[in-house]
Amino acid sequence: MPEMTYREAVQKALADELRSDDNVIFFGEDVAKAGGAFKVTPGLYDEFGGNRVRDTPIAEQAIIGAALGAAITGLRPVAELMFADFIPVAMDQIVNQIAKYRYMSGGQFTIPLTIRAAQGGGAGFGTQHSACAEAWLMQHPGIMVVSPSTPTDMYGLLRGAIREDNPVFVLEHKMLYNMKEDVADNIQPMRLGEAQIRREGGDVTVVATQLMMHRALEAAETLADEGIDVEVIDLRSMVPMDTETVLTSIKKTSRLVVVEEAPHAAGWGGDIVSLAANEGLYWLDAPVIRVNMGHTLVAYSPPLEDEIIPNANRIAQAVRNVVQR
């Protein structure tokens, strides 16, 4: 089982899919010769050449429009948007074209299109380069959204996304690029829409993704010393969402905390709360708590950024509050 970083898992997944299918192509800003802004894609241009791995102008709407055109004409494109914050620049292409094309063609076209973007705060990139984009995308039927939290999932979910015949956003957290773990040699493309229980527990369910999932695990270890047994669920896939795993956990623990690296308003955590209210209300012994960024922007100042983004202490305190109700 070789050790691999989250960053290396992206590169390996892309390389393996480019090798396995000649219809897979990859393009974006500085992804070819430079190896990507975060050095995630080195070596791909050298191996596959300029016809399959291409640099593009700084033009997000053109990148996504070209990807759509490639997808409906038989290719399987992977497009990179350097930062998830730039998704709104191409929102017309995403919302009014990509999400709706298969439906509006009566199923005559499939859209085997993957869009990758780096997201998340904690690295001091400032308010225009630190957003998490799940909630922006989840509202639009026709788009699948995955948020891998580990190198193993990064590799498997990206390969699964590229093989999907519908458009998929793969959102990669910048603060996880250097994370390492042993990754099995025989990891296969993963099916989208399956959550994973990262830590089993009987007292409280905590639902989180990406960096927040790791901070939830940290909080769970602290709380274990206090006699509070926390179950941590990593959603991994936001659309489709594995509601069955969440409900099964709520039925077992009777308490729920949702942790989001995002503002409170219209966040994906509201979907989890709605699920609990609609289908798990009679299992709950306490109100649900959401831990998130409130109604504020990510600051450029490192101390202010750290204050805004949920940490293990805030998560632990939320769990204590739920247990005490």
* Catalytic, out of 8, 29, 80, 129: 129
Residue carrying the six token digits 């830590």:
199
What whole-number distance in Å separates Cα of residue 95 and Cα of residue 75?
Answer: 21
Which tokens belong to 9? 């898992």
* Catalytic, out of 8, 17, 60, 305: 60
What are phi and psi for residue 77, nearest 5 degrees?
-80, 150
Cβ-contact 1, 183 below 8 angstroms: yes
What whole-number distance in Å separates Cα of residue 72 and Cα of residue 109?
Answer: 6
Cβ-contact 286, 318 below 8 angstroms: no
What whole-number distance in Å separates Cα of residue 266 and Cα of residue 40?
Answer: 31
Active site residue 129: yes
Peptide bond into 240 cis (omega under 30): yes
What whole-number distance in Å separates Cα of residue 157 and Cα of residue 195?
Answer: 12
Q: What angle do CA 199, 265, 157 make, to 5 degrees?
A: 40
221-229 contacts: CB < 8 A, separation 24 or more? 222/312, 222/316, 223/316, 223/319, 223/320, 226/320, 228/203, 228/204, 228/319, 228/320, 228/323, 229/201, 229/202, 229/203, 229/204
What whole-number distance in Å separates Cα of residue 140 and Cα of residue 168?
Answer: 12
Cβ-contact 256, 205 below 8 angstroms: yes
Q: What interhelical angle do 312-324 and 210-224 show, nearest 10?
A: 60
Active site residue 181: no
Residue carrying the six token digits 């769990």:
319
- Just list the catalytic residues: 60, 129
